[in-house]
Structure 1
Amino acid sequence: MSDRRDEPAENISGGDAGGGAFAAFEGSDHEAETRAEAVVDALGEMYWQKAYGGQDGFECLVRTILSQNTSDKASQPAHDSLMERYGPADRLAETLAGVPQDDLAETIASAGLYNQKSEVIIRAAEWALDRFGSTPEFDHFVRERDPGEVRETLLSVSGVGPKTADCVLLFAGGRGGVFPVDTHVHRIARRMGLAPAAADHEAVRAHLEGNVPAEKCGFGHTAMIQFGREYCAARKPACLDGPEACPLYDLCDRVGIDELDGEVVDPSEVVDG
């Protein structure tokens, strides 16, 4: 397993610099009502906590687009380079809307898929200005309007999917009850039996948001990602080394994992006998 020192000081929420503050996890003062809540409570004993919200909305949108299909290690330098060249945050949409795509692509190259991501970012900047008039007005919309309306509006932008929209709601809007689903969360929730084995990302999100208290969803998202990196990897989960190797072994159905043969498949490939 990776050393705990490898746990990033920042994740997509941006640590202290991303708004909010570190906070105690309130998950042990009552018995969990669902297994999904019990999983999040157990993760609360393992990882640092964070109060969500506080990021500038459009910067958070850009940051999340940069993180698509790549790691924080790759996307963070791209975000830092972008902000150094095109900031400040309260003028970011105005600046990016007029940037030549080749220049932006070069700036964010470390994030991978830089041609595609630069197109999406510039298109999102143009859309934000056309719809809201300024970066601060977009940020206000994210923080103050109904979460369902914000989510639906963000999803109308080409290149912005459910996970990106949910991250903006969580990390910029500070909205409770939002559990973004990335590839780690999608895999782990189905592997553990917290969602049906064949569930798509949206179905997994619905199961988790329906079974985890609203105030625990944000932490559940970031902690489950970290758990996936340290213990529940796609090809070699820790349980293959024995029950004692995984701290959540007793809460997991291990769907798609054959501990005897050491074989691992996606949960959707499991066929009931």
Structure 2
Amino acid sequence: MPDEPAENISGGDGGGGTAAAFDPSEADTRAEAVVDELGRMYWRKAYGGQDAFECLVRTILSQNTSDKASQPAHDALMDRYGGSGDLAAALADAEQSELAETISGAGLYNQKSEMIQGAAERIREEFGGADGFDAFVRDEDPATVRERLLDIHGVGPKTADCVLLFAGGRGGVFPVDTHVHRIARRMGLAPADADHEAVREHLERDVPAEKCGFGHTAMIQFGREYCTARKPACLDGPEACPLYDLCDRVGVDELDESVVDPAEAD
């Protein structure tokens, strides 16, 4: 897999969203305290407003690859198909081999082109195109949107939640990717053996709705810089990790300098 860029595509000044201020009062849960500190370290943003179908396409492209690979594939797709006025219609009618070639930099391009084209056909059929889908994501009950998204081939919980967050601007949505799944369990914010859905449920329960969006993006950044899978910063001593005092370090043996998945910890 290509190296990750220094900053994830949803963070920093160029990553979308708008800067937002939140109540600095004392956190009610440890998960909220973690998110508050992540917000201080990186950014505090409110998300929403992205085109829903483009967001869906972008998230499918990001599956099992890095921002470094998926972002150029997204840009190439938009250059080729984004000028038609309705991206869903353009992709539904695209020649699949051409679409696959266009996104080849993202990896698994034959599989992803099938997913994208299938999603485009469903959205044109059920919503009349990208605009109708966008209105559905923004205005319908979030649980209904999530259920409908999960019924689209290739759309899993993380993809559905990213559409709800970045396009719908829905509060209380905390998408769980591999970084969030690892960090939440390692820190003890969710059970060590929790799957992605259980981690999501714990974080959405314990983090205020307005903080879930930047909690997700900032936790990804923290996972890249500090809490990596193989060598978390705490192995270099307590002073190396800014969240050391908030973390249970499940699966991390600082004396032996060994790391296992939290589910495998004693």
CA distance in 1, matches of 2:31, 2:84: 36
Q: How far is 1:17 from its partner?
A: 7.1
> Would you say 1:147 and 2:142 are equivalent positions?
yes
> Would you say 1:267 and 2:262 are equivalent positions?
yes
Q: How far is 1:78 from its partner?
A: 0.5
Q: What residue number does 1:58 align with?
A: 53
CA contact (8 A) 1:151 1:166 kept: yes
Q: How far is 1:48 from its partner?
A: 2.3
CA distance in 2, matches of 1:209, 1:195: 11
Q: What residue number does 1:226 align with?
A: 221
Q: What residue number does 1:103 align with?
A: 98
Q: How far is 1:16 from its partner?
A: 5.2
CA distance in 2, matches of 1:24, 1:134: 32
CA RMSD in angstroms, aligned pairs only: 1.6
1:183 to 167, 175, 178: 178
CA distance in 2, matches of 1:210, 1:56: 27
Question: For structure 1, which segment, 200-209 or 111-120, has the greater mean C-alpha deviation from structure 2 after superposition?
Answer: 111-120
Sequence identity percentage = 74
**Greater RCO (Cα-Cα under 8 Å, separation 6 or more):** 2
How do 1:230-241 residues align onto structure 2 when only pairs under 5 Å count?
230-241=225-236
Q: What residue number does 1:162 align with?
A: 157
Q: What residue number does 1:86 align with?
A: 81
Q: How far is 1:24 from its partner?
A: 3.5
CA contact (8 A) 2:171 2:210 kept: yes
Q: What residue number does 1:39 align with?
A: 34
CA contact (8 A) 1:169 1:175 kept: yes
Q: How far is 1:158 from its partner?
A: 1.1
CA distance in 2, matches of 1:239, 1:44: 20
Task: Flag the 1:218–1:89 CA change in 2: closer, same or farther, 3 A.
Answer: farther
The residue identity in structure 1 corresponding to 2:73 is A
Task: Flag the 1:27–1:253 CA change in 2: closer, same or farther, 3 A.
Answer: farther
CA contact (8 A) 1:52 1:171 kept: yes
CA contact (8 A) 1:78 1:107 kept: yes
Q: How far is 1:99 from its partner?
A: 1.1
Q: How far is 1:14 from its partner?
A: 9.4
CA distance in 1, matches of 2:132, 2:12: 22
Q: What residue number does 2:120 align with?
A: 125
CA distance in 1, matches of 2:12, 2:51: 11
Task: Flag the 1:13–1:66 CA change in 2: closer, same or farther, 3 A.
Answer: farther
The TM-score normalised by the length of structure 1 is: 0.92
CA contact (8 A) 1:25 1:44 kept: no
Q: How far is 1:15 from its partner?
A: 5.8
The residue identity in structure 1 corresponding to 2:255 is L
CA distance in 1, matches of 2:29, 2:12: 29
The residue identity in structure 1 corresponding to 2:244 is Y
> Would you say 1:136 and 2:131 are equivalent positions?
yes
